[in-house]
Structures are given as structure tokens and as C-alpha cells.
Amino acid sequence: MIQVRGLTKRFGDRVAVDRLDLNITPGEIYGLVGPDGAGKTTTFRLLVGALRLDGGDGQVAGCDLRTGLNELRRHIGYLPQRFSLYGDLTVEENLRFFAEVNGLKASDWQPRRDEMLAFVGLAPFADRRADRLSGGMKQKLGLATALIHRPKLLLLDEPTGG
């Protein structure tokens, strides 16, 4: 599922990720643990294709980290540490937006919507604007947006924060 060798990222003279090797097979659960500034978020951003590699290579969900980024994004659910929702959209509208962006078929929308709203406990709040949700409810909606397209891989950065 994740195989990387020598993964490296620099910001100027600062090395944020230094030759990371990682092999995670399907069905396994891993945690990246370290102090603030250790490179955990940068590693996640490299694995989802949000940052370009400065060194190393690898595959995530069968997609090359250098050449398969468009395909990669269809197979990954990512909830960043600081995620954004559209405050002027309802819970359901946010879900629909992320479903469309991530390529969920229109025919799959209604059953998947119902499934995700029930899973995160937001069905009674489907028509509520996101900017009127509590912090915990926003976190649940963020998780639902990361899962809406049935990704092969789910990456959560600081999932218990906030």
C-alpha cells in the first residue's frame, strides 16, 4: 500500500524528511509519532502528493509518487491537521463537493451520503451550515469528506487534535 525509499524533503537548508524508508501493507494501521517539527505532516503531504519529493521514490496505493499524482488522489482519503470546510455550505453540500472532486459516481452519491452521515452521526445535521457546527462536529464532517469516495488508504494527520 505504501512503499517508499529514501523519501527526502528540504525547505531551503532545512531537511524536513531525511531519507525515510517505509513499507506498509494493506490492512495495517500505523502511526507516525514524534515531537513537533519532526516532519510528520511533511511526510503525509509527500505521501498524498501535496509536496514534491526532493529525493527518493516510492508508490502509494499503486501510484508512483513522481508520475502518478492525479491517479493517487483518487485512491487516498486525507484529513490534514488543519482541514478546511466550506462554511457557507451545508453538511450535505460539503460532502457532495468532496464526493465530486474525488470522482464518486453520481449514481453512488445518495447511498454513500446516507452511509457517511450515519457513520459520523451527522444525519440530523445534514442541512446545517458547516460554520454553525461545533468543533467536534466539524471534525466528524472532515472525516466523512475524507472517506466519501471509498479510498484504498486513509491518512489522518493529528486526528484527535482540536
Residue 52 shares a structural domain with residue 97:
no
Is 144 part of any domain?
Answer: yes
Is residue 85 a part of any domain in this protein? no
Q: Are residues 63 and 27 in the same domain?
A: yes
**pLDDT at residue 13, rounded to an integer:** 96
**Same domain (yes/no): 6, 59:** yes
For the chain, how big is the Rg over CA atoms in Å? Answer: 17
Residue 51 pLDDT: 94
What is the reported pTM? 0.87
In a domain, 73, yes or no: no
Is residue 158 situated within a structural domain?
no
**Domain annotation covers residue 75:** no
The string of DSSP codes covering 81-117 is SS----TTSBHHHHHHHHHHHTT--GGGHHHHHHHHH
Last residue of a domain, one of 67, 100, 116: 67
Instruction: Please state the domain count of the chain.
Output: 2
Whether residue 62 is found in the same domain as residue 105: no
Distance CA 11, CA 66 (A): 18
Torsion of CA 57, 142, 99, 3, to 10 degrees: 20
Strand 76-79 and strand 153-156: pairing? parallel
DSSP state string for 34-68: --TTSSHHHHHHHHTTSS--SEEEEEETTEETTT-
The one-digit pLDDT tens for each residue of the chain (162 residues) are: 899 999 999 999 999 999 999 999 999 999 999 999 999 999 999 999 999 999 999 999 999 999 988 889 889 999 998 888 999 999 999 999 999 988 889 899 999 999 999 999 999 999 999 999 999 999 999 999 999 999 999 999 987 765
Residues 6+ apart with CB under 8 A from 127: 90, 91, 92
156 in a domain, yes or no?
no
**Per-residue pLDDT, 162:** 54
Q: 58 and 95 share a domain?
A: no
Task: Answer whether residue 38 is part of any domain.
Answer: yes
Same domain, 95 and 54: no
- The β-bridge partners of 79 are 156
Quick one: pLDDT at residue 159? 79
Residue 54 lies in a domain: yes
Q: Note down the domain range covering 18.
A: 2-67
At 136, phi and psi to the nearest 5?
-65, -40
Helices (H), ranges, 9-148: 40-47, 69-75, 91-101, 109-120, 135-147
The CATH code of the domain that includes 10 is 3.40.50.300
Strand partners, 90: 129
- Pair 61, 96 in one domain: no
